């Protein structure tokens, strides 16, 4: 990876880690789930508001965690808005592949814009202990969509 790109990615993670977007409780959330990553101590609660068509109308989170888990949750809330449950699941699968391997060969064109926004987190694949920090919010998203209340990185 070029150093410039690495710096840019670092900057995105630090920015979202320090100033997470949609960091609030959604009082009228239709779905909520808690995520726990005991390896690092990251804990978060994810809130989803669904529209009349079942698509995700709003997403927000609260919690405490390292910069990577916070940045990942922040980027998640920005990228899943407007998505159907199926699209959100697909995005979650692709993101987890990206975090674990650094690439996502079967990321089709349909979610390419979202995947590009999540690209800054791809660097975690070089640090296996941090992969769970990056994927915690996405496990929690799947739990919320499936109506489960708890998600663990384990
Ligand atoms: Zn962490």
- The DSSP string of 21-64 is TTBS--TT-SEEEEEEETTTTEEEEEEEEE-TTSSEEEEEEEEE
| 154 occurs within a structural domain | no
| 92 occurs within a structural domain | yes
Cα 103 to ligand 1 centroid, rounded to whole Å: 21
Q: How far apart are CA 45 and CA 6, in angstroms?
A: 29
Q: Give the model confidence (pLDDT) of 4-45 as tens digits.
A: 778 888 999 999 999 999 999 999 999 999 999 999 999 999
> What pTM, to 2 d.p., does this model score?
0.93
Cβ pair 74, 23 in contact under 8 A: yes
| 153 occurs within a structural domain | no
Cα 68 to ligand 1 centroid, rounded to whole Å: 6
- Number of domains making up the chain: 1
| 131 occurs within a structural domain | yes
Cα 149 to ligand 1 centroid, rounded to whole Å: 20
| 81 occurs within a structural domain | yes
The length of the chain is 154
Residue 81 in 3-state DSSP?
A: coil
**Domain limits for position 47:** 2-148
């Amino acid at each position: 990876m070029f150093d410039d790109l690495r710096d840019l990615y670092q900057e995105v993670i630090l920015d979202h880690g320090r100033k997470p977007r949609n960091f609030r409780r959604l009082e009228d959330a239709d779905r909520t789930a808690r995520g726990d990553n005991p390896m690092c101590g990251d804990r978060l609660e994810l809130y989803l508001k669904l529209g009349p068509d079942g698509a995700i109308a709003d997403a927000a989170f609260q919690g405490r965690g390292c910069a990577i888990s916070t940045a990942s949750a922040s980027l998640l809330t920005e990228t899943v808005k407007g998505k159907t449950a199926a699209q959100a699941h697909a995005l979650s699968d692709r993101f987890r592949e990206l975090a674990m391997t650094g690439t996502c060969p079967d990321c089709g064109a349909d979610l390419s814009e979202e995947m590009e926004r999540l690209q800054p987190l791809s660097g975690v694949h070089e640090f296996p202990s941090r992969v769970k920090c990056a994927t915690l919010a996405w496990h929690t998203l799947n739990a919320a969509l499936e109506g489960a209340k708890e998600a663990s990185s384990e």
